[in-house]
Structure 1
Amino acid sequence: MNSKEIRIYNLSPDEFKESIRSIVQELMPQQKKEVNKPAFSDELLTVEETLKLLKCSKQALWNWRKNGILPSYRLGNRVYYKKSDIFNKLVKQV
């Protein structure tokens, strides 16, 4: 996966949709490889792992969490995101 930084807060709606499409296209092969793993739907990612996966800012991720766009899970003082929730949300956005 080649890494590109995407600054979502400066994107027009069309640019945002195109960015989401490119992220989903990058995740599709990875999703197909991991679909045979029984625990895939329950794989929890830390905030840092989620930021790397989505290539977004910490503020954008926090906003999505607070607005209910991306569900999060708390274990103690830590916040986690399900990999399947992220993928499903991206697929619905396209």
Structure 2
Amino acid sequence: MESKPVYIYPISPTELHEQYIAKVDSSVERILKKLSQEKEEEEQLLTVEETLKFLKCSKQALWNWRKNGILPSYRLGNRVYYKKSDIFNKLIKQE
């Protein structure tokens, strides 16, 4: 077994603290970036057809939920969209 030399570099407490903070900052940035990507996915707008596939329900049921205010919808021109986050929130709350 071959031995390897160990090098000891003198480091001040301030430098050690700065290195530690830099590592923590990079970890926090990575976590925040991941969370923001997940949030963007939740804010995705779904068409009526995509919503029907996602919820596995009939077009009539989706229309009733929209008219009764159970599931909010958004209109852009002649098209109707649903926010994925609204769908998840409604499924979780089950109001």
TM-score normalized with structure 1 length = 0.59
2:55 is the counterpart of 1:54? yes
Q: Which has the higher contact order (CA 8 A, sep 6+)?
A: 1
CA distance in 2, matches of 1:48, 1:55: 10
Structure 1 residue ranges, 4+ long, deviating more than 2 angstroms after superposition: none
User: How many pairs align?
Assistant: 61
* Structure 1 residue 39 displacement after superposition: 1.5
RMSD of aligned residue pairs (Cα, Å): 1.9
Identity of aligned residues (%): 79
Give 1:90's aligned residue: 91
Q: 1:47 to 1:35 in 2, by over 3 A?
A: farther
Alignment gaps of 5+ in structure 1: 1-33
Q: What is the rounded CA distance, in whole Å, between the counterparts of 1:35 and 1:48 in structure 2?
A: 27
Residue segments in structure 2 that go unaligned for 5+ positions in a row: 1-33
**Structure number with bigger Rg:** 2
